[in-house]
Amino acid sequence: MATSNRPPPRSLPAAGAIRSHPRPESKHLGRQLERRGILVRDADSSGITVNLTVIKAGDRSNIIPDLAEATLDVRFRKIEDFYAVLAKIKSGLATAIVPDSTITVTEDGSTYPPLTENPQIDALGARAQAIYAELGKKLALSGNGGASESAVAMSVGTPALDGLGYVGSAFHTDHEWIELSSVTPRLYLFTRLLMETSLAPPKRSVAP
């Protein structure tokens, strides 16, 4: 117990802790912070999104931590878009709101490069569509907000497709699911595509 020469206090403030557990999804916390001006999220036709995904600060509820850290997940279609977002964040945090505090912005770079459309990918996609059509099924070609190792292959000039797995939804959640009826058709698609590209490899593109 800490001691001092001061007289004992006649009153003391109460101590308590309030914790936020947004349900059903953690993204609700990001939305609450966004509404309070703590987080600005871009989502437009460019495909750029910026989401707050990790917050770390202290380990005791009755001690104000001297360091806090927030991690933002950035998704983009062009590499220059990432650095535009980085510049925007640095500019927005350049002026400290709380006196005697500093904010440092660091970046880990692009974990995965963007998977961009080109004639080589279109040709590979057409092959996949033709194979799937043998089963009387249609295969749509589109983009999404995910990241994939296929983009790493494409970054060195090897055409690649993403999303050849089973049909499902709610990915990366505790209630992710797949359609069991899609297992056999998708295995057929992947196997045939692997066989065809082994016999007749797609033309490599010029790496960006």
Residue 53 lies in a domain: yes
Residues in the chain with pLDDT values less than 70: 1-45, 109-110, 143-146, 206-208
CATH of the domain at 132: 1.10.150
Cβ atoms of residues 30 and 39 within 8 Å: yes
pLDDT of residue 134: 95
One domain, residues 66 and 127: no
Strand partners, 75: 49
Give per-residue pLDDT as tens, 24-76: 454 454 555 455 444 545 455 577 888 888 888 888 888 888 888 888 888 88
Residue 182 lies in a domain: yes
CA separation for the pair 81, 85 (Å, rounded): 6
pLDDT of residue 208: 52
pLDDT of residue 207: 55
* Domain span at 157: 119-199
One domain, residues 133 and 170: yes
pLDDT of residue 38: 45
φ/ψ region of 45 (left if φ > 0, alpha if ψ in -120 to 50, else beta) reads alpha
One domain, residues 135 and 182: yes
Residue 12 lies in a domain: no
Residue at which a domain ends, from 92, 109, 130:
92
Choose among 75, 77, 73: nearest CA to 46: 77
pLDDT of residue 1: 45
Task: Take residue 47 and report the two structure tokens written for it.
Answer: 């495909």
